[in-house]
Structure 1
Amino acid sequence: MTKLTTVQALRAVAALLVAIYHLFLNEQAGITNNGSEEISALLETTRNGFAGVDMFFVISGFIMVYVTQNTAHGKYASLDFLIARLTRIYPLWWFFCACFLVIIVAGTGQLTPASYNIEAEQTAGFLVRSFLLWPQEKLPYIVVGWTLIHELYFYAIFAGFMLAPRAWLPVLAGVWCVVLCIGATAGLSTDRVATGILSLAFHPLTLEFIFGVAIGLLVTKGIRTLALPAFVIGTTVFVGGLLFFTHDMVEISLNWSRVVLFGIPSAFILYGLVSLELEKGWSAPSQLVYLGDASYALYLGHVVIYLVATKAFEVLAAIFTQLGMPAWLVAAFSLGHSGPVDNLLFGVFGFSGALICAGLTFSCLEKGSLSWLSGKRRALMQRVRMDD
């Protein structure tokens, strides 16, 4: 299967959008915790960085169709697909959850941050559901895990589709889309984040996976016309949404707004870039491709790194104060202090730390573990076929 560099580049862009969005959210939280009324200078500009999630969902739908295009559907293919996706999602999720747990326990002596408002008797259940990525009222232990819950739901449905002949996939996806829209408009999923099986099953953001499936079907069938206009239109709308969209501009829910303003344009962008790569030989810069390969590590790891960066700034400011260091040095690590130095330092250390963490995690842990797990999966499937 040919690796599509443009898809990996889009994965990098999506991860960077989310990482930058959370960078300034964490900066603002640190400013507020220090009792300052200062507003992060870039928070307003990056307020819609969550759109990277919408791009991720569309990409996921596309990739599942693309990588299985030559796979004969059936129970073995379905099982192999599901195991492959589970071993892709859970190991790195558990790794970063364990890192987060160690940091929280070391810093507070508690299993969960105080801001989560988890009662002691509910902690065990909360952690189990978080580690399993099961829908619940609270956001998962690492907050971005809510998107992985949606990913796993999509994988489960797609694995079910693989039990049927591949020729049925367009019809099955179309029926799913119709049923989903009916259920969502009927109010079966009104929450911004799925809190249960029903709200997950009919969540509007699932449409973005289906958009990706549609793009995958078009591309793999050789329908790749009007690629450049699609890319230009999609990019224009997506960037416009990033820069100008505010939640009070429309009367429909934020979830539906995301589907329209970011999900559909992401599908246009993806269709355009993939078609241009396959038909015209377009390719993405190697740096973006590598970051796309490491995008899952960046997506999970940046939350942990930003927490560490925020606490590190607090500790350093306190230490420098106790040591009688110059006021300018204390101010540089005191979020909310007048002037841009503290903000710039936090941005540089936080963002570079997230990138370094992603690169190291991908190169030293993720690649090797995925290769090992892939070998184990193939061996398991061989045994299953022989025993059947």
Structure 2
Amino acid sequence: MDGIASAWTQERKLEWIQALRGLAAFMVVMVHSRSMLMGSASGRAVAEQVLLPMAMGVDLFFIISGFLMVWTTRDFDGSKAYAWTFLVKRFARIWPLLAVMTPVALVVEHGFGGLLDRALVLWYAEGLAFIPHDPVASGIYFRMAVGVAWTLCFEWYFYLVFAASMLCGRWRYAVMAAWFALTLLAIPLARGGYHLHVATQPLVAWSRYANLAIHPIVWDFVAGMAAAWIYGSRVTIRSTWTICGAMAVLLVALALAWQPLGMTNFFGPQGWGAPLAIVFAGIALLAKADAIKVPRWSVWLGGISYSLYLVHVYVFQIAQRIAGALPLSQPTLEIVLFLARPALAVICAWAVFRYVESPASASMRRLLLSVRAPRRIEAGSATFESSRR
């Protein structure tokens, strides 16, 4: 009973993370919905000035991921079995739904005839290995067949590094720090022209996957890990005014130095990632001081966030095709779609989460853990499991 109570308490403590995850997913949804506002000057202004910056939801996703990987493995026992269990749960969390959505994406974008095109099928299937399709063609987006899957390439890379470091036992964070020092500092410096702009990072010609390792957006994960160490440390600030004041000072200082530092309105540490790292660390301290009340709906949205992230683009496309047949003027049609598509995406994401993502992930997890999963690891993974990420 004590273990169950402890797991429930930890899950309640991490509700703020679920809320942020839901916010991040919905921000991405709204970024992609902005195309409906491009028909007028005022609409374009809203789309570019208000909605486009919501793409920072991706940075927030990565920061959350770094945080959770540290926080949910704080009971690491140094065994290889634990590392295997960790990697299995991460794989089972993201791969099954991607495997389902990949043929769906192919059919939505190319029709059922696309299933007969061998080259096209192989192109889509390659994304299931989390390998960037073509880093040269579209920069950070990698020209992935399932467009949003570019972020999953980074997620899986980070999981691999984290799991591999576990094989070094109590030295895991030292090994991880050495790896990031090599890939995010030493190698880029040696290649010349070191900077943190994610869209103009010099590419590695001999390996598509190696581009993930040296990409500066990986610093988002590192920022999340740092926040987790602060959250789990003895550092506790009870005054919410002190926390909020410190956040405000740091954000103002960053805003004043934005241009001199060469900051950009784009992904990564030299863009949205930097202010988000400050805000996230502050929220973590507020949560630690029990100063955050999380709305239940935001926790629910966080629960379906992965499904929402993967399905919304295709819900948008289908909804637009159906709405195109309605007898509506173009301006009216654009407003209706701008409002309706996100709502439809949330509804579909809930259904996909309940009937596809959740059971498929659970089945994959059971299958892979049956290969090698000591009982003592499974018995001690209640907190790890509660994060669902």
Under TM normalisation by the shorter chain, which class is it?
0.7 to 0.9
TM-score normalised by structure 1 residue count = 0.77
Range that drifts further, 42-51 or 181-190: 181-190
In the alignment, is the contact (CA less than 8 A) between 1:8 and 1:292 conserved in 2?
Answer: yes
> Judging changes above 3 Å, is the alpha-carbon distance between structure 1 residues 244 and 366 closer, same or farther for their aligned structure 2 residues?
farther
Q: Which residue matches 1:300?
A: 310
Match in the other structure for 2:287: 277
Q: Structure 1 residue 291 and structure 2 residue 298: aligned?
A: no
CA distance in 1, matches of 2:216, 2:371: 36
Q: Are the equivalent residues in 2 in contact too, given 1:74–1:163 (CA < 8 A)? A: yes
Alignment of 1:312-327 (within 5 A): 312-314=322-324, 316-317=325-326, 320=327
Tell me the amino acid that sits aligned with residue 78 of structure 1. Answer: A
Deviation at 1:13, TM superposition (A): 1.2
Which of these residues, 27, 35, 41, is aligned with residue 17 of structure 1? 27
Aligned partner of 2:181 in structure 1 is 178
Question: Are the counterparts in 2 of residues 133 and 140 from structure 1 also a CA contact under 8 Å?
Answer: no
Q: Deviations over 1:212-258 (max 9, x none)?
A: 112222222333448845556658988999x9999x99756776x63
Partner in structure 1 of residue 214 of structure 2: 202
- Correspondent of 2:342 among 329, 338, 351: 351
For 2:167, the aligned partner's letter is L
In structure 1, C-alpha distance between the alignment counterparts of 2:101 and 2:174, rounded to whole Å: 38
CA-CA distance at 1:312 after TM superposition: 2.0
Q: Does 1:152 align with 2:131?
A: no
1:190–1:285 CA distance, 2 compared to 1 (3 A): closer
In 1, distance between residues paired with 2:356 and 2:257? 38
Do the aligned partners of residues 280 and 24 (structure 1) sit closer, same or farther apart at CA in structure 2, a change above 3 Å counting? same
Q: Equivalents in 2 of 1:199, 1:42: separation in Å? A: 34
Tell me whether 1:131 sits opposite 2:128 in the alignment. Answer: yes
Distance 1:111 1:88, change over 3 A: same
Structure-2 separation of matches of 1:253 and 1:7: 26
2:358 to 340, 354, 367: 367
Question: Gaps spanning 5+ residues in structure 1: where?
Answer: 113-119, 321-329
Identity %: 25
Q: Is the 8 A contact 1:227 1:272 kept in 2?
A: no
| Cα distance, 1:139 vs structure 2 | 1.6
Task: Give the structure 2 partner of residue 97 of structure 1.
Answer: 102
Which string of whole-angstrom CA distances, capped at 9 and with x for unpartnered residues, describes residues 326-350 of structure 1? xxxx31xx3xx4xxx3332011211
Report how far residue 141 of structure 1 moved: 1.6
Letter in 2 for 1:135: P
Change in Cα spacing, 1:347 to 1:227, as seen in structure 2 (3 Å) is: farther
Deviation track 1:9-55 (CA, whole Å, cap 9, x = no partner) reads: 11111111111011113654xx5xxxx99954531221111110001
Match of 2:29, SS state, is helix
Q: 2:61 aligns with which of 46, 56, 67?
A: 56
Question: For 2:72 and 2:349, how far apart are their aligned partners in 1?
Answer: 24
Q: Which has the higher contact order (CA 8 A, sep 6+)?
A: 2
TM-score of the aligned structures, taking structure 2 as reference length: 0.77
Q: Which amino acid aligns with 1:133?
A: F
Report the CA distance shift for 1:231/1:135 in structure 2 as closer, same or farther (over 3 A): farther
Distance 2:75 2:51 in 1: 40
Letter in 1 for 2:177: G
Q: Which runs of 5+ in 2 are unaligned?
A: 1-6, 135-141, 377-389
Q: Which amino acid aligns with 1:174?
A: A
Deviation at 1:307? 1.2
CA RMSD of aligned residues (A): 3.6
C-alpha displacement of 1:84: 1.1
Q: Aligned to 2:53, what secondary structure does the other structure show? A: coil
User: How far does residue 184 in structure 1 lie from its aligned partner after superposition?
Assistant: 3.2
Q: Report the AA paired with residue 14 of structure 1.
A: A
Specify which of 272, 276, 281 is matched with residue 262 of structure 1.
272
Which residue is 1:323 aligned to? none
Matched length: 349
Letter in 2 for 1:209: F
Q: Which residue of 2 aligns with 1:325?
A: none
- Assess, with a 3 A threshold, how the Cα gap between structure 1 residues 125 and 63 changes in structure 2: closer, same or farther: same
Is the 8 Å Cα contact of residues 56 and 272 (structure 2) preserved in structure 1?
Answer: yes
CA drift at 1:62: 0.6
Which of residues 88, 95, 106 in structure 2 aligns to 1:83? 88
The equivalent of 1:42 in structure 2 is 46
Q: Is the CA contact 2:165–2:172 (under 8 Å) kept in the aligned structure 1?
A: yes
Structure-2 change in CA distance of 1:363 and 1:121 (3 Å)? closer
3-state SS of the aligned residue for 1:49? Answer: helix
Distance of 1:227 and 1:267 partners within structure 2: 20
CA distance in 2, matches of 1:269, 1:38: 30
Equivalent residue for 2:383?
none
